[in-house]
Amino acid sequence: MTLGTGTPAAKRWPRITVWRAIFAAILLSGAYATYLRIFYGLGGSTNLSDKFPWGLWIAFDVMCGVALAAGGFTLVAIVHIFGIEKYRPVLRPCILTAFLGYVLVVVGLLFDLGRPDRLWHPLVMWNPHSVMFEVAWCVTLYSTVLFLEFVPVVCERFGWAKPAEWIHRISVPLMILGILLSTLHQSSLGSLFLIVPAKLYPLWYSPVLPLLFFVSAIAVGLAMTIFESWHSSRAFGRALELPLLASLGRVLAVTMSVYLWIRFLDLLQRGVLPLVARNRMETWLFALEIGLALVPTVLLYQRSVRMRPGALYACAVMVVFSVIANRLNVGTTGLEAGSGTHYTPKWSEIAITLSIVAAGFAIFRMVAGYFPIFEAQAHGNEHAVAEVSPQKKEVDPVAVG
Amino acid sequence: MSKAILYDSTLCIGCRACESACADRWGLPYDDKIAAEEKISAHKLTTIETHGDHFVRRLCMNCVKPACASVCPVGALQKTALGPVTYDADKCMGCRYCMQACPFQVPTYEWSSRLPRMRKCNECYERQSQGKLTACAEACPTGATKCGDRDELIGEAQRRIAEKPGQYYGQIYGLKEVGGTSVLYLSAVPFEQIGLRTGVPSEPLPDYTWRVLELLPDVVSTGAVLLGGIWWVTNRREEVAKAEGRSPRRSGRPPSKNGQGGHAVVPEKLEGRK
C-alpha cells in the first residue's frame, strides 16, 4: 500500500489515483453507515444480538486499536526510561500513532456505545470492581498523557518556548505515568474476558489473558513502528533507518518468543493442547493466529532477513495480523460457540471500521507532513514541508489514501 | 434474608400466566404473537420454553454474586440486600458488558431504539420491597413459581425431592451455579434436557476478575518505583559521563545540548546530527 505521493503545490486539482478513489469510496460508505447508526440504532447498523452483544467495533476498533497504538509507550520506555538513545528517530512517529490511535478508539466507542452521549459516565459513576471502569479511566488519562507528550512537537513547529519548558519540567513523571497506565489497560483488555470462562473457547480463555495481552501489545507496538517507518519512508521519500529498524526487529523476535512461550506453557498447563486436533473453526483460526506469529519470529532471528527492508516489513505485517487475529478471536469468533450463535459483521460495521482505519492513515499523513515528526525531514526539507503542506491541506483534504 | 424464586418444572402446565403478569407489571405489550416467542427479549422479560413434554421458565437468575453488577463500569446494576439485581437506566451508557458477562445470557437490549436500554427481570424489586409477591408468583395458578426467602425455598425444594424421589431429578439448579442464584429450579429430568446451562462454574464469576484486579495497587506501586529507579540510574550514568567529558550512549549519537539527555520529551535541535 503506497500512500499518495506529494503532488506539486502548483497543481490545483489532486491527481486521481487508485488509492484515493478507494479512500473516497470507503469514506462515502462510512458516511452512509454513520447515518444508519444514528437514525436506525445499533439494530439497523450492526448484526449484534442479545446473544452476541459485542462485535467488530469492540474487537477491532477498540481492542486492536489500543494494541496497535502500543508503540507509543513501548518506545517512550525504551528511549526515555532505559535511555537507549539510538531509537529516538522513531519515537515521535510512535507517539503520534499512539495519540491518533486512542482518538480513533474513542471514535469507535462512540459508534459502539448504545448511549454515546454518556461516554463520560464512568468518570463520575464509579464501580472499582469493573475492569471496564478501569479501562475507561486508563484510556482517558493515557490519552491526556499522549496529548502532553505530543505538545512539544507542536511547540517546536510554531516556535513556542514557554509551553515546551512547562512540559519538560513534568516530563519524567508524565512518561512513567503513561507507561504505567498503558501496562494497566493493555492487560486489562484481556482481563475483560476473565469473566466469561464458560463462553470463550479454551484455546483463548486463560487466567493469564492479561499477561498475554500485555506482551503481545508490546510486540505489535514494535511491529507497528517498523510498519510506519517503512510506509513513511516511501510516502515522504525519506531514507529508511534500516540498521535501527533491524535491531528493533530483533527486539521484536525476542518479545514474540516470550509471548509464544507463555502461550504454549499456558495451553500445556491447562491441558487444552489436544483441542488443536479437532476439526473445528476455532482450530483453524487458532492455527492462523499462531502461524502468523511463529513464522516472523523464526525469520526475524536471521540477520539476512532483518537487513532486507522488504522482508523486515513483511515480518512486521505478519506480527500485526497475528495480533489482530488474536484480538478478533478473543473478542468475537472464540465466543461464538459458547454463545450458541453465529456472528458475521454487517457491511455497515465493516464500512465504519475501514473508514476509521483510512482516517487514521490520512490524518497521520497530514500531521506528519505539517509537524516535525521525522527527524531527517525536519532537518532537511523543513522549508518544502512548510510551504507545500498547508496549501495542500486546504485545497484537498482527501489528498491522501 | 434474601428473596428468591423457586420454579418447579414438574408443576408447570405452560399456561403462560407468568408471562402475561410480567408484561403487565412492566407495561409491555402482550398478545398471542408475543406469547409464541419462546425467548426472552427486550419486550419479554420472562418466557416459558417447551422442551418435549417439559416446560421451563426463563428469567433473570438474580445471582447471589452477579457478574453483570460486577462488570458494569458505571454501577447501573446493583445487587440489593433484598436479593434482586436492579438496573438504573439513567446511568447506563450502553457498553453491553453485562450481556457479555452474564453466564445465562439474560440481559437483552433495545437494539432498534435510538436511546436504548438494557432490559431484564429484577425479581419485582419494587413489589418485593413492599412485602408483596413477585407478579409471576402471584399469577401462577399451580404454584410452579413460588417466591419467598431463599433459604426457606431451598429447604422446601429439598423436601419435595425427598418426598417424591421418583418424580424429581434429585438436584436443585441454582444452588451452586456461579456461587448460587436467586432463581432455583426443580425438574423431572437432568437440567441440560430442559435447556439450562450446566457447564457453568460453581465459583462466583466476579472472583475470576477480582483475582487480577486486586493486584493493581501492587503493580502500580512496584512499577512506579521500578521505572523511576531505572530512569534515575540511566540519568545518573549520563550525568557522570558528562562530568567526565565522554559520551555515555551506546550509539554514536552525541548527548543532547541541555546535557540531561534522554529523559526530555522536549524537542532537541538537531545541529549535532548528520
Question: What is the distance in angstroms between the Cα of A1 and the nearest Cα belonging to chain B?
Answer: 30
User: Cβ–Cβ of B205/A197 closer than 8 Å?
Assistant: yes
Task: Give the span between the Cα atoms of B100 and A332, in whole angstroms.
Answer: 11
Do B55 and B17 contact (CB within 8 A), yes or no? no
Q: Check if B257 contacts A (Cβ < 8 Å).
A: no
What pLDDT is recorded for position A255? 96
* Chain A residue whose CA is closest to B217: A184
Q: Residue B77 falls within a domain, yes or no?
A: yes
Task: Give the span between the Cα atoms of A188 and A176, in whole angstroms.
Answer: 18
User: Cβ–Cβ of A129/B70 closer than 8 Å?
Assistant: yes
Cβ under 8 Å to B: A residues 190-219: 191-192, 194-199, 207, 210
What pLDDT is recorded for position B238? 87
User: Cβ–Cβ of B205/A378 closer than 8 Å?
Assistant: no
User: Cβ–Cβ of A379/B223 closer than 8 Å?
Assistant: no
B127 and B225 assigned to the same domain: no
User: Cβ–Cβ of A82/B95 closer than 8 Å?
Assistant: no
B142 and B249 assigned to the same domain: no
B265, B270, B271, best to mutate vs chain A, most A CBs in 10 Å: B265
* Chain A residue whose CA is closest to B256: A85
Q: How would you class A321 by CB atoms within 10 Å of its CB: exposed for 0-12, middle for 13-18, buried for 19 or more?
A: middle
What pLDDT is recorded for position A188? 94
Point out the residue among A41, A79, A379 whose CB comes nearest to the CB of B273. Answer: A379
What pLDDT is recorded for position A395? 33
Say which CATH number the domain at B172 has.
Answer: 3.30.70.20
Q: What share of chain B in percent tops pLDDT 90?
A: 84
User: Cβ–Cβ of B209/A131 closer than 8 Å?
Assistant: yes
The 10s digit of each residue's pLDDT in B54-96 is 999 999 999 999 999 999 999 999 999 999 999 999 999 999 9
User: Cβ–Cβ of A83/B235 closer than 8 Å?
Assistant: yes
Question: What is the distance in angstroms between the Cα of A314 and the nearest Cα belonging to chain B?
Answer: 27
B73 chain-A contacts, CB cut-off 8 A: 121-122, 127, 130, 132-133, 135-136
What pLDDT is recorded for position B40? 94
User: Cβ–Cβ of A83/B237 closer than 8 Å?
Assistant: yes
Residue spans of alpha helices (H) in A47-125 = 56, 65-68, 71-76, 91-112, 121-124
ipTM of the complex: 0.86
B43 and B159 assigned to the same domain: yes
Question: What is the distance in angstroms between the Cα of B206 and the nearest Cα belonging to chain A?
Answer: 7
Q: What is the largest CA-CA distance in chain B?
A: 93
B18 and B109 assigned to the same domain: yes
**Residue A223 has which C-alpha cell?**
511491529
| Residue B173, beta-bridge partner list | B185
A18-395 falls under which CATH superfamily?
Formate dehydrogenase/DMSO reductase domain (1.20.1630.10)
Helix (H) or strand (E) holding A369: helix A347-370
Instruction: Please choose, from the candidates B175, B191, B186, the residue with its C-alpha nearest in 3D space to the C-alpha of residue B11.
Output: B186
Residue B247 confidence class, pLDDT cut points 50, 70, 90: low
B22 and B127 assigned to the same domain: yes
Cβ under 8 Å to A: B residues 105-144: 105, 107-117
Q: What is the mean pLDDT of residues B99-117?
A: 95
Q: What is the pTM of this model?
A: 0.88
B44 and B175 assigned to the same domain: yes
Task: Give the span between the Cα atoms of B64 and A44, in whole angstroms.
Answer: 35
* Chain B residue whose CA is closest to A373: B267
B69 and B148 assigned to the same domain: yes
User: Cβ–Cβ of B213/A149 closer than 8 Å?
Assistant: no
Q: Check if B85 contacts A (Cβ < 8 Å).
A: no
pLDDT at B216 over 50: yes
What pLDDT is recorded for position A12? 66
User: Cβ–Cβ of B93/A129 closer than 8 Å?
Assistant: no
Task: Give the span between the Cα atoms of A266 and A251, in whole angstroms.
Answer: 23
A147, A194, A214, best to mutate vs chain B, most B CBs in 10 Å: A194
**Residue B87 has which C-alpha cell?**
438496573
* Chain A residue whose CA is closest to B267: A152
Question: What is the distance in angstroms between the Cα of A290 and the nearest Cα belonging to chain B?
Answer: 26
SS3 B262: helix
Question: What is the distance in angstroms between the Cα of B186 and the nearest Cα belonging to chain A?
Answer: 23
Which domain range does residue B228 map to?
Answer: 215-263
B151 and B241 assigned to the same domain: no
The number of CA neighbours under 13 Å toward the Cβ of A213 is 30
User: Cβ–Cβ of B265/A171 closer than 8 Å?
Assistant: yes
User: Cβ–Cβ of B209/A194 closer than 8 Å?
Assistant: yes
pLDDT tens series, chain A, 401 aa:
444 444 444 456 777 888 889 999 999 999 999 999 999 999 999 999 999 999 999 999 999 999 999 999 999 999 999 988 889 888 999 999 999 999 999 999 999 999 999 999 999 999 999 999 999 999 999 999 999 999 988 998 888 888 888 888 888 899 999 999 999 999 999 999 999 999 999 999 999 999 999 999 999 999 999 998 898 888 888 888 888 999 999 999 999 999 999 999 999 999 999 999 999 999 999 999 999 999 999 999 999 999 999 999 999 999 999 999 999 999 999 999 999 999 999 999 999 999 999 999 999 989 988 888 886 444 433 333 333 333 333 333 333 33
B20 and B81 assigned to the same domain: yes
Q: How would you class B120 by CB atoms within 10 Å of its CB: exposed for 0-12, middle for 13-18, buried for 19 or more?
A: buried
User: Cβ–Cβ of A179/B227 closer than 8 Å?
Assistant: yes
B117 and B147 assigned to the same domain: yes
B127 and B241 assigned to the same domain: no
User: Cβ–Cβ of A375/B108 closer than 8 Å?
Assistant: no
The 10s digit of each residue's pLDDT in B129-149 is 999 999 999 999 999 999 999
- The total number of structural domains in chain B stands at 2
Do A399 and A14 contact (CB within 8 A), yes or no? yes
Task: Give the span between the Cα atoms of B25 and B2, in whole angstroms.
Answer: 21
Point out the residue among A136, A164, A207 whose CB comes nearest to the CB of B266. Answer: A164
Cα–Cα–Cα angle for A259, A260, A266, rounded to 5 degrees: 90
A243 chain-B contacts, CB cut-off 8 A: none
Q: Show me where the domains of chain A are located.
A: 18-395
| Domain final residue pick, B154, B174, B204 | B204
The number of CA neighbours under 13 Å toward the Cβ of A146 is 29
Q: Which amino acid is at A1?
A: M
Residue spans of alpha helices (H) in A270-308 = 281-300, 303-306
What pLDDT is recorded for position B272? 37
Residue identified by cell 427481570 is B121
Do A318 and A298 contact (CB within 8 A), yes or no? no
Q: Residue B271 falls within a domain, yes or no?
A: no
pLDDT at B234 over 70: yes
Q: CB count, 10 Å around CB of A317?
A: 17
